[in-house]
Structure 1
């Protein structure tokens, strides 16, 4: 590998799975690349276009190599990669550490080096590497080390996204495996309860994420509105636009990769505004990639809390969230953040949603947070007098 900055900050892009699952083809992928450019999201930092499962034939060729499905990808994967690259974007694909992928296509078990060479020859820049059909006698740690080593010796810089769903205490060994990001949860669903549960499951694991190895809380559902063709992900109910905005804010502040899962060819203005919030992207992409700490509201600790994330310029990203079903107060005491009023230090607050400065505050900041809503600020220590 030549690029010492590969995935230093959380990767951003689009993945086909959440909306389209098995129903993929080269027109969809090229159309997604076009949409990232036309919408301005490419310029905001979304650079990967990733094909998920179901892209290959069910059998390898006579040389043991993976074969793209000619009906879905009649011009082959290199042509698709070349098109994505021509747009100034990067191209991603999918495989699995087991004998088969989750949908039953050939996995990379004991084909790691040949598959890495194949991906490199096609121009792949990113590999989502799933955890299905793993032989029972094999530790996942060993299998992810295998593919990491294969990718590091394939002659091309390829990001390894280790998708083992948080199994086998992945957070304790994944950085040493060489992967650049690791799925720490099960699959997300297009509803608020799923967003809440996945987020809360990672609050005690924030310390394991950092530059070059990012905790992936799963792909975004922002803007899907029940459009998935997969019943598990959700094709009936969905989140409100406010809940999608909260979902995006939480993933951004937690430092999760931001991989869009909706149909980027058909986004609403509200969806585009949420995904393109430059302040939240700046927080997510801060070069130090520090994890936030959590301060819970004393009289409603299960539902209302603040995430506080130190940023590289000395400011703090602060996210209030209310998981409850009623409006609730969040009273953030600056003492809990290491700020002593005795030194005449307060915080200036900038609102990342309204794009307005809210002024200077001493000792505390108090807000009423609507149900399922978030408030996100960038706060800077200031002299009060």
Structure 2
């Protein structure tokens, strides 16, 4: 079962639309601060786990004193290595006091008093990546703690997640070469396990409470498509059986359990799990589930059943699904098996892990920008815009504090390799929703000044979060100058909220186009090679690329008038002015001209081209 990413995304979107009628309300913040890509500084690239209160304050001071704060770099993000490995007596997160003796509320006050915003870190796992206290199953309590600390931003990582241990499709740099589609879906059989019962549990602040058991019988369960309620598994006890897929692995028989949850059983601050008891002594079997599709944002689930000692109901074994979207009133769970739907269940296990924290943050009534850092494991660009303001599509850009590679890392951890994976996802970016190719590496060792400027330009063209990742207190004037280039920043922070499209690759040069809110167009020519190249594109081809960008996928937020600035006004202009964002050189063009420039190896030429009024 091999699908292109676009087909997969469209199928998922259509499936959700069909079963839901309309998309449920997003849980993420839509605060003004989250509309444009976030700008700030993070501790991970320069320090990794070696952080403390003094270092964070020195970087905050450097943002102010360098002028970067006033150019938009306002978030100071304290990454992994700051929390204690254990919780306090009340089950709350706490800092490592040897590193942060004043506590996080005091640190938040320090940042706020200096015109900055406070960013924190945790994980959609039982532990953080450094094995400190994780937020999985503590989302509401931890969100409240973040609010008490004055947190304005949360980077939410993906280590130690109990549901997902491999990517949906292979991901460069992943800890495993396995993937769910290749190793599970494409090797599946059509046989589904019989289901005996379900047990519903509440999880709140680490405490599990069993709520109710629903058994299979005619009063709770309806069947279609050849599925049956069968008493042939012993003790005249009915089971839901014949849920097998068809020979082509499409959906065959299905059975739906209906049950009611009253208001006393649904706590908005709790999560819910369901143990699904199955019988199958021959092999592990897969089972698809669809839960409350009319109200749930992510309704697809799956399990791989346990091998039981026999076919007897007395040997039925549970498999647990988590983050179940139960609601007050009637709830439904449809059981079946479909090769097409299994990837949705896997993908949405990840989505629900992040949705839980997104909802918890929103419940604090504090405006918090939420960064979904799941490394591209479950194609976050297809769903993370529903729960977060930006999402990581790759592993870390560097695994060594203070340094980065330009290209050619065997695990894909380099600037060019990360750029290549991010640049093709332009149609998924928009207001409040951005692809995040990881922190800026400007000022780190391992790259030249030319590469620093190219890296910064590419990130700005891609509407990436601009999170500086160097020691600003000791940064060179060149580093501060690159990070503070207001013309490049303006491309990133443009009000059209568009990620540039790579519309051409020729002779080692990438060509990116980015329509801008004032009707001008940014053109970036990136020389990927090790020798100087001449970049060349006609004005007419550039105009066509700009028109295609605003007419393509991911531009529904644009008005007809905004699109017409490029499909009509820019495309039909007789002349244009140009400005280089790095040299400030200006020029003029006619509609019949070709834009040409020599580009240094690994460098860029970036121009803003404006139609003459």
TM-score by length of 1: 0.92
User: Is the counterpart of residue 111 in structure 1 residue 316 in structure 2?
Assistant: no
Residue of structure 1 in register with 2:527 after alignment: 322
- 1:376 offset after TM fit, Å? 1.0
Q: Which runs of 5+ in 2 are unaligned?
A: 1-27, 165-321, 323-348, 399-403, 408-413, 545-567
Residue of structure 2 in register with 1:156 after alignment: 366
What are the residue-to-residue correspondences of 1:252-291 with 2, within 5 Å?
252-291=460-499
User: Is the counterpart of residue 378 in structure 1 residue 608 in structure 2?
Assistant: yes
Q: Secondary structure at the match of 1:66?
A: coil
**Take 1:104 and 1:318, find their aligned partners in 2: how far apart are those partners?**
44
**Take 2:31 and 2:120, find their aligned partners in 1: how far apart are those partners?**
21
Residue of structure 2 in register with 1:229 after alignment: none
User: Is the counterpart of residue 191 in structure 1 residue 400 in structure 2?
Assistant: no
**Take 2:572 and 2:73, find their aligned partners in 1: how far apart are those partners?**
42
**Which residue among 161, 173, 180 is the counterpart of 2:389?**
180
User: Is the counterpart of residue 337 in structure 1 residue 546 in structure 2?
Assistant: no
What are the residue-to-residue correspondences of 1:57-136 with 2, within 5 Å?
57-136=84-163
**Take 1:50 and 1:325, find their aligned partners in 2: how far apart are those partners?**
35
Q: Which runs of 5+ in 1 are unaligned?
A: 226-237
Alpha-carbon contact 2:29-2:369 (below 8 Å) kept: no
Residue of structure 1 in register with 2:424 after alignment: 204
**Take 1:126 and 1:118, find their aligned partners in 2: how far apart are those partners?**
13
Alpha-carbon contact 2:127-2:159 (below 8 Å) kept: yes
Residue of structure 1 in register with 2:459 after alignment: 251
Alpha-carbon contact 1:318-1:378 (below 8 Å) kept: yes
User: Is the counterpart of residue 353 in structure 1 residue 582 in structure 2?
Assistant: yes
**Range with greater deviation from structure 2 (244-253 or 352-361):** 352-361
**Take 1:4 and 1:31, find their aligned partners in 2: how far apart are those partners?**
28
Residue of structure 2 in register with 1:32 after alignment: 59
**Which residue among 350, 353, 378 is the counterpart of 1:143?**
353
**Take 2:541 and 2:359, find their aligned partners in 1: how far apart are those partners?**
43
**Range with greater deviation from structure 2 (351-360 or 163-172):** 351-360
Report Cα offsets for 1:186-230 as digits up to 9, x if no partner.
Answer: 1113111111111111232111011101111000110012xxxxx
Alpha-carbon contact 2:573-2:611 (below 8 Å) kept: no
Residue of structure 2 in register with 1:218 after alignment: 438
**Take 1:275 and 1:241, find their aligned partners in 2: how far apart are those partners?**
12
Aligned pairs, number: 367
- The structure whose Rg is larger is 2
TM-score by length of 2: 0.58
User: Is the counterpart of residue 313 in structure 1 residue 521 in structure 2?
Assistant: no
**Take 2:61 and 2:597, find their aligned partners in 1: how far apart are those partners?**
41
- 1:344 offset after TM fit, Å? 6.2
**Take 1:117 and 1:4, find their aligned partners in 2: how far apart are those partners?**
18
- 1:2 offset after TM fit, Å? 8.3
With over 3 angstroms needed to count, the CA separation of the structure-2 counterparts of 1:342 and 1:119, relative to structure 1, is closer
With over 3 angstroms needed to count, the CA separation of the structure-2 counterparts of 1:343 and 1:379, relative to structure 1, is closer
- 1:325 offset after TM fit, Å? 0.6
Alpha-carbon contact 2:123-2:158 (below 8 Å) kept: yes
Q: Secondary structure at the match of 1:160?
A: strand
**Which residue among 491, 500, 505 is the counterpart of 1:292?**
500
Report Cα offsets for 1:58-98 as digits up to 9, x if no partner.
Answer: 11112111110110010110000000001000000100001
Q: Secondary structure at the match of 1:355?
A: coil
Aligned Cα root-mean-square deviation (Å) = 1.8
- 1:373 offset after TM fit, Å? 0.3
**Take 1:2 and 1:182, find their aligned partners in 2: how far apart are those partners?**
14
With over 3 angstroms needed to count, the CA separation of the structure-2 counterparts of 1:146 and 1:368, relative to structure 1, is same
**Which residue among 24, 44, 57 is the counterpart of 1:17?**
44
